[in-house]
């Protein structure tokens, strides 16, 4: 049966598959759902289907029995319940090939995004996290989602992080990348923030990102004065996904664009300084269960220009980012880091 399911005997649910194929942040945001599902159905085996690059995010999750990929999941595999938290053409095709007794899906409500992007009409009644919307698929199975995001780096990943971070001074992590240009704060402005933080705190700065971000990290470092440059360590492109998670678990604060690493940091309850350009809070992808400060150009009439981001500013001015002063962001970071117990 596909669609709304009224569960009369949850103990009959013994095998569950959760499907979220991508991407980093979206998968991290499923972890509160996994925790509540495991709590509600302790007798059930829960498998998780995702693309191979993202498997490490849930491989060590205590609620997950095994991680499968679309390629490794045999057609006809039997499940009592499938939760499709992707709900796109690929995930629906995958689910159709299974022997699924019951299927529930995450409803994206894309029409609301269209109204907001194209006509700047926000019909949402307050803020609703995507975690809560994932949780709607559990109606009748589990209570309201209250669990935090969670990740479990291995002892080896934590050892790598400990060796990299040391313990002699506070650390600010900088997650400067993003998949789309309109989600990236300009590099020279990140450099200005680092310069101020280095001048006014004892903090060191850790640059994190993927292999594709490594050249951008070098540009940030090159833009710094020598005194600040010596306080920066770049592990962009040098740490695995779960090593990056372990590193984020050990820092004191995180400055980040709207990117998957933001959600990874939220899993460890880190204080987040979040920069939104084309993104807006109404899309539902704010950090879950972590303290954050949001920096955005609220009064800009062209925001949001996309619900996923663009390769260039459609207006040509990029004011959503360039009118966010680095000094304002740096001031809040300095205040937070200087309050850290010595």
3-state secondary structure 126-137: CCCCHHHHHHHH
- Residue of 279, 9, 11, 40 lying closest to 137 (CA atoms): 40
- Residue of 125, 117, 99, 112 lying closest to 15 (CA atoms): 99
Q: Among all chains, which residue has been given the structure tokens 């600040």?
A: 228
- C-alpha count within 13 angstroms, C-beta hemisphere, residue 57: 29
- Residue of 194, 187, 189, 186 lying closest to 228 (CA atoms): 194
Q: Tell me which range, 9-23, 122-136, 233-247, is most confidently predicted by mean pLDDT.
A: 233-247
Predicted confidence band of residue 4 (pLDDT cuts 50, 70, 90): very low
Judge contact between 288 and 32, C-beta under 8 A.
yes
Is the pLDDT reported for residue 9 higher than 90? Answer: no
Q: For residue range 207-232, what is the model confidence (pLDDT) as tens digits?
A: 999 999 999 999 999 999 999 999 99
Whole-number pLDDT of residue 342 = 61
For the chain, report the end-to-end CA distance as a whole number of angstroms.
58
Burial 57-95 (b: 16+ CB within 10 A, else e): bbeebebbeebbebeebeeebebbbbbbbbbeeebeebb
- Residue of 178, 122, 125, 180 lying closest to 298 (CA atoms): 122
Q: For residue range 235-293, what is the model confidence (pLDDT) as tens digits?
A: 999 999 999 999 999 999 999 999 999 999 999 999 999 999 999 999 999 999 999 99
Q: How far apart are CA 126 and CA 144, in angstroms?
A: 17
3-state secondary structure of 138: helix
Q: What proportion of the chain, given as a percentage, has pLDDT over 90?
A: 92
Whole-number pLDDT of residue 176 = 98
Q: For residue range 134-178, what is the model confidence (pLDDT) as tens digits?
A: 999 999 998 889 999 999 999 999 999 999 998 889 999 999 999
CA–centroid distance for 254 within its chain: 13
Is the pLDDT reported for residue 54 higher than 80? Answer: yes
Mean pLDDT of the chain: 95
């Amino acid at each position: 049966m596909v669609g709304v399911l009224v569960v009369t005997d949850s103990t009959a649910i013994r095998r569950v598959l959760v499907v979220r194929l991508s991407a980093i942040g979206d998968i991290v945001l499923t972890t509160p759902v996994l925790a509540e599902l495991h709590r509600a159905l302790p007798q059930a085996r829960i498998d998780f289907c995702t693309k191979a690059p993202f498997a490490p995010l849930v491989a060590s999750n205590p609620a997950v029995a095994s991680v499968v990929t679309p390629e490794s999941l045999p057609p006809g595999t039997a499940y009592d319940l499938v939760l499709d938290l992707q709900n796109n053409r690929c995930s629906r095709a995958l689910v159709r090939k299974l022997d699924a007794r019951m299927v529930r899906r995450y409803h994206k409500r894309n029409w609301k995004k269209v109204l907001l992007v194209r006509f700047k009409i926000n019909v949402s009644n307050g803020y609703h996290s995507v975690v809560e919307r994932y949780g709607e698929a559990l109606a009748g199975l589990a209570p309201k989602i209250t669990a935090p995001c969670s990740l479990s780096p291995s002892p080896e990943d934590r050892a790598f992080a400990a060796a990299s971070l040391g313990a002699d001074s506070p650390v600010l992590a900088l997650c400067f990348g993003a998949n789309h240009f309109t989600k990236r704060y300009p590099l020279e402005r990140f450099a200005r923030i680092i310069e101020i933080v280095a001048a006014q705190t004892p903090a060191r700065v850790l640059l994190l990102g993927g292999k594709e971000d490594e050249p951008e990290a070098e540009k940030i470092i090159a833009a710094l004065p020598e005194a600040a440059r010596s306080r920066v360590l770049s592990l962009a492109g040098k740490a695995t996904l779960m090593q990056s998670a372990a590193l984020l678990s050990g820092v004191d604060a995180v400055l980040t664009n709207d990117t998957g690493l933001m959600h990874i940091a939220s899993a460890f309850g880190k204080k987040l300084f979040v920069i939104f350009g084309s993104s807006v809070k109404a899309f539902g992808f704010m950090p879950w269960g972590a303290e954050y400060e949001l920096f955005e150009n609220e009064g800009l009439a062209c925001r949001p220009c996309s619900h996923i981001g663009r390769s260039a500013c459609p207006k040509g001015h990029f004011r959503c980012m360039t009118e966010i002063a680095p000094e304002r962001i740096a001031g809040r970071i300095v205040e937070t880091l200087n309050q850290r117990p010595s």
